[in-house]
Amino acid sequence: MTAKQPAQRPAKRRSAARTTRPHPVLGAHQSIAGGFTKAVERAVETGCECLQVFTRNINRWDVAPLDPADAVAFRMAVLDAGLRLVIAHDSYLINPAAADETLRRKSIAGLVTELERAEALGIPWVVAHPGAAGDQPIDVAVARAADGIAAALAATKALAAGILIETTAGQGSCLGAAFAEIGTMLERIDAVPGLASRVGVCLDTCHVFAAGYALAPQTALDATLREFDACIGLDRLVAIHANDSKKDRGSRVDRHEAIGKGKIGREAFRLFVNHPRLRGIPLILETPKENAQGMMTPAQDRANLAALRRMAGATARAGSTARAGRSPRRPRRPRSDV
Ligand SMILES: [Zn+2]
Ligand SMILES: [Zn+2]
């Protein structure tokens, strides 16, 4: 995981995803069970300012067409809730790096479907895993993943919705554990005219930690972010998945844990949410929602969001706590511009 020369990067165009507001924009992944607007209700119920959803059953290839009325209802609910950002996460079946041509074609078509659904729902970004190499040499698989993602973006040129390549834990032959791999993918995609502004990156704290990157102490976090900047470019970082890790640093095993309760720990998250280079980038939880009895409750998300807010308040107190307590219903700029 050595840093390489930063490539020429296109000018940042999606700055609306960021904010100069002192306290971090926090939210969580929520289920669409019962309808798309239910995810917004769950976001409001838990105090989210941003939201991630699946727009489909992620364990199946086939997907029923989106009902336009549902899409309108979802957009209205998002506006009404004052959510600052909504992103989607793609199906886990999608593997744009697949050596098998049939699977790769299905994966590209799957990404196109994800982008179309996101667009209809007013969602600017689809988080996508870069896929798995299988038996292919890594450099070949990285190039295939990039070309597959580029093909999906090129097939949807009329859409504003784009793809955020997610950093991964590197489980099995999964690509994207090394920042340099994602940097190489971006370079290949950026080389196709018109695509650069529709591809960015989502950093998952659990994944980068499991992949071997250190998040504490401060000097180690600084070094990790410097490497991210050199390989990928911090200007391409649009969203962060805030998850603690059940497994050790470098384990390459992806198991999310409640904030501060795992191997990453409170101190690393405190440094992370207060890092000046990450200011304004929304943090979205994908932490377990089950209580000690195994029941899904809103309490887990609320507790994790409260933990992050407290950590952010610990060093960014001035002006932030008052804002954090304001009603989320005050009008905000709609996301339809990106
Ligand atoms: Zn994630
Ligand atoms: Zn994960």
Assign residue 179 the CATH number of its domain: 3.20.20.150
CA of 22 to the centre of ligand 1 (A): 24
User: Residue 59 class from Cβ within 10 Å (0-12 exposed, 13-18 middle, 19+ buried)?
Assistant: exposed
C-alpha gyration radius of the chain: 19
Q: Ligand 1 centre from 166 Cα, in Å?
A: 7
User: For residue 68, is it within any domain?
Assistant: yes
Ligand 1 geometric centre to CA of 130 (Å): 12
Ligand 2 centroid to residue 190 C-alpha, Å: 26
pLDDT in tens, 243-292: 999 999 999 999 999 999 999 999 999 999 999 999 999 999 999 999 98
Model pTM score: 0.87
State the residue for tokens 């209205």. Answer: 76
Q: Which domain holds residue 312?
A: 23-318
328 within domain boundaries:
no
Say if CB 311 and CB 266 are below 8 A apart. yes
Calculate how far, in angstroms, residue 257's C-alpha sits from the geometric centre of ligand 2. Answer: 10
- Judge whether 107 lies within some domain: yes
Domain membership of residue 327 (yes or no) is: no
Q: Which residues contact 244 (CB under 8 A, 6 or more apart)?
A: 205, 206, 256, 257, 258, 259, 260, 261, 262, 263, 264, 265, 269, 287
Residue 318 Cα to ligand 1 middle (Å): 31
Distance of CA 206 from the midpoint of ligand 2 (Å): 7
C-alpha 123/C-alpha 86 separation (Å) is: 6
Residue 323's pLDDT is: 36
Structure tokens at 177: 């554990």
Dig out the tokens for 15 from the structure.
Answer: 């700055």
The answer to whether 288 and 246 have CB atoms below 8 angstroms apart is: no
pLDDT at residue 292, rounded to an integer:
87
Q: Tens digits of per-residue pLDDT, 108-144? A: 999 999 999 999 999 999 999 999 999 999 999 999 9
Which residues of the chain are under the pLDDT cut of 50? 1-21, 316-338
- Most distant pair of Cα atoms in the chain: their distance: 55
Confidence (pLDDT) at 77 = 98
Question: Is residue 332 a part of any domain in this protein?
Answer: no
| Domain annotation covers residue 288 | yes
What pLDDT, on the 0 to 100 scale, is given for residue 329? Answer: 37
The residues whose Cβ lies within 5 A of ligand 1, an ion, are: 204, 241
Q: How many domains does the chain have?
A: 1
